[in-house]
Amino acid sequence: MLSFLRRAIPKASSLGLLKKNKQLLLELCSSKTPLEASFSRYIDSSETTILDINPIRKILIVDDFFPRPHQAVFKPGNILNFTSIYQGKLIIFDSAIIRATKMNEHVAYEIQMPSEMMVHRRRKSERAKVPKDSGVKVKCFVPLMEPMFATIKDVSADGIKLSIAGDKRLGLKLDGVIQHCEIELARDKKINCQLRIKNLVFGRIPFQHTAIGAEFENLEQAMKEELLNAITEWRILSESPDHGST
């Protein structure tokens, strides 16, 4: 999950960086910020929180994983991939299970305190939710797959969040590129673009779907201006007191 980022980020060997990582983990623990946990052996992802930290033993205690992947059995040494959003930052780290334990009579797990944590500022450009009645259509084309029709959850000049019905993870990969994405606007204008996948999550509620968070790549200036115009219109519409009224 982190291989594409790890090559560009130095080892957390300095004392200052280790202290920052420890402080960030303490804040995640005290705020009970949800962590999304994924496992290389299982397709489904789960959610957990940090219950406690033992800096001396260099371990974290995390809550049981929910929903637990079907027939999942977690063993010492299993690698977990964690992502979380905290104070506008995307936090990513890997850890390994040490052992199952209990905390307050509930199942929990001891995991290794990560030596590397990757922290990224989320995009700064304004985002907008696309009105359901906008008529916007999105189609993604990936080799060896049928064209995929998607729904825009939100969009900015930097990136887009899509939802596609069904489980599409076998044909998509983290940091992979969707070579052709076609966004057809309501006023019969199309934006053709490439997307680099930065987040890929399978969900079952309210129906089976694949959520994709992606960044625009090589977006032509004319297409970007068209997108910005649409974003401005959607934001104005969403802030209008008459929007949604009957």
Note down the domain range covering 92.
3-121
Last residue of a domain, one of 121, 143, 158: 121
Residues 116 and 134 in one domain: no
Question: Of 66, 91, 121, which residue sits at a domain end?
Answer: 121
| 109 and 209 in a common domain | no
The 10s digit of each residue's pLDDT in 38-54 is 876 555 678 899 999 99
* Cβ atoms within 10 Å, residue 161: 19
Which among 144, 148, 184 has a CA at the least distance from the CA of 165? 148
Is residue 12 predicted with pLDDT exceeding 50? no
Side chain identity, residue 237: L
What does the alpha-carbon distance between residue 85 and residue 123 come to, in Å, rounded to a whole number?
A: 12
Total domains in the chain come to 2
| pLDDT confidence tier of residue 200, bands split at 50, 70 and 90 | confident
Domain finish residue from 72, 90, 121:
121
Cis amide prior to 67 (ω within 30 degrees): yes
32: left (phi over 0), alpha (psi -120 to 50) or beta: left
With cut-offs at 50, 70 and 90, classify the pLDDT of residue 131. Answer: confident
Whether the model pTM is above 0.95: no
Based on the domain organization, do 152 and 235 belong to the same domain? yes
Confidence category of residue 149, pLDDT binned at 50, 70, 90: very high
